[in-house]
Amino acid sequence: MNKKLLSIAILTIVALAGQAQNNFKVDVKVTQGIEDNGYLIHLFDRSQTHRNYVGKITVTDKRTTFETHLDEPLVGDLTATFPDGSVCTHCVRFPFVPDEHAEVKVMNGTFYLTGSKFYKEWGNADELVENARKFQKQYETDNLIRNYLKDHASEEGCVLYYLKYNILPASQVMKVVSPAMAGGRFKHFFADYRTQDDDQVEMPQVSDIPVPDVNAITVPDVNAIPVPNVVVPGKFELTPIQKMQAEQKLMVIKFNMEWIEDAYKSLEDEYSLYRMDMTFGQITQKNKELDKQWQEFIKMLKGFDIPGEEAAKIYAKTYEEILKFYTGQDKVFFELYKARHSLPKSAEKAQKVIGKLTEKYMKEASRIQVKK
């Protein structure tokens, strides 16, 4: 082989080797009973503002594979298609990472993610959060989730899972991100969450865009809900155990209210459709959880057998605090629409849920009669 041909051969080998080193691969396994016959692949651009169609993969014998070359990690998603030609209304969304191999298992309509190191870390964090929410009491769940992040703060997959799925407020997650991780292969993911006074990353200026006033939402002071605890002859009082039960439930409620408030604040300077979509989805879920917690709190109060007139005053104040929170959110949506002119469908869904909950508690509150 002459020197010219040898040089061409070497260049070709180097080029091919470079591509192999930046390949991303995902294997999908579909369990029995699942009708998915294919998946649409979409990939977001670097800024996560535009979602682009990449192609479709077909399921054969319950398996399919997608592989592509990537220069850097990007967010992508898989959307199932069915034999009748219809497309699923939901998708599984996660980072597509060069030099990593994702393994997705579809079971009972749920996607489970594992694979190479990054995806094992992601999947383990997902499993912890899911199991904690299923089998633990709320205050235990919160501690488990926070402690898991603290113990696995060196794992890119865990940190990105917490950040992208809004498991905790972004400000809390970013506190555990080391300089090495922040400047590593996911640096453009983390850059969007850095504050402007961070010397490492400069945030873009969006002062020319009207930003909604998220201060319109108020997190109620749960201490304003009058849980009787003063000993007065002839008056009702809670037992120490009842008082502790009430305070525990109110602490959980307050935590979720503050989480929702932080989620709205994160939208102030957010113009990524992907992250807005995720945030509104989380706001919807948290409001549904909050509804259950308020119902449990009210049910608990009824079990305390509080005398009629005093009970009516306590229930009236409780409903006042609940409605103050939901109407505050409605004001935020008004400001968001006024500033942005349009929002993703997930925002419309969140607003509908909040509207239904407001109507529900207004009806419940109307049944309360308080003697003056």
CATH number for 39: 2.60.40.1120
Q: Based on the domain organization, do 260 and 326 belong to the same domain?
A: yes
Same domain, 182 and 229: no
Whether residues 168 and 79 fall in one domain: no
Check pLDDT > 90 for residue 133.
no
270 and 349, same structural domain? Answer: yes
The mean predicted confidence, pLDDT, of the chain is: 79
Contact by Cβ (8 Å): 58, 108? no
87 belongs to a structural domain: yes
Look at 45-54, 251-260, 304-313 and tell me which has the smallest mean pLDDT.
304-313
Residue at 201 is within a domain: no
Residues 364-368 have a mean pLDDT of 83
Mean pLDDT of 11-17: 40
- 11, two tokens: 């260049």
The listed range with the strongest mean pLDDT (104-108, 131-135, 266-270) is: 104-108
Residue 249 φ/ψ, nearest 5 degrees: -65, -40
221 and 133 share one domain: no
In a domain, 207, yes or no: no
Q: What's the structural domain count of the chain?
A: 3
Domain boundary among 95, 114, 133: 114
At residue 194, the pLDDT reads: 60
160 occurs within a structural domain: yes
Q: Residue 161 sits in which domain range? A: 122-191
Count of alpha carbons within 13 angstroms of residue 252, beta-carbon side:
24
Q: What is the mean pLDDT of residues 2-22?
A: 45
228 and 317 together in one domain: yes
What is residue 3's predicted lDDT score, i.e. its pLDDT? 44
Mean per-residue pLDDT for 189-195? 72
Residues 183 and 230 in one domain: no
- Residue 126 lies inside a defined structural domain of this protein: yes
| pLDDT at residue 16, as a whole number | 41
Q: Is residue 337 part of a domain?
A: yes
User: Cα angle at 46 between 43 and 51, to 5 degrees?
Assistant: 35
**Predicted local confidence at residue 50, as pLDDT:** 85
Q: What is the pLDDT of residue 70?
A: 92
Domain final residue, candidates 82, 114, 146: 114
Domain membership of residue 1 (yes or no) is no
Task: For residues 294 and 175, state if they share a domain.
Answer: no
Count Cα neighbours of 123 within 13 Å in the Cβ-side half-sphere. Answer: 16
Residues 52 and 34 in one domain: yes
Q: Return the higher-pLDDT residue of 145 and 102.
A: 102
- 243-297 pLDDT per residue, tens: 788 888 888 888 888 888 888 888 877 777 777 888 888 899 999 999 999 998 8
219 and 356 both lie in a single domain: yes
pLDDT, tens digit, for every residue of 167-176?
A: 888 888 998 9
Residue 214 has pLDDT above 50, yes or no: no
pLDDT confidence tier of residue 11, bands split at 50, 70 and 90: very low
Same domain for 126 and 106, yes or no, is no
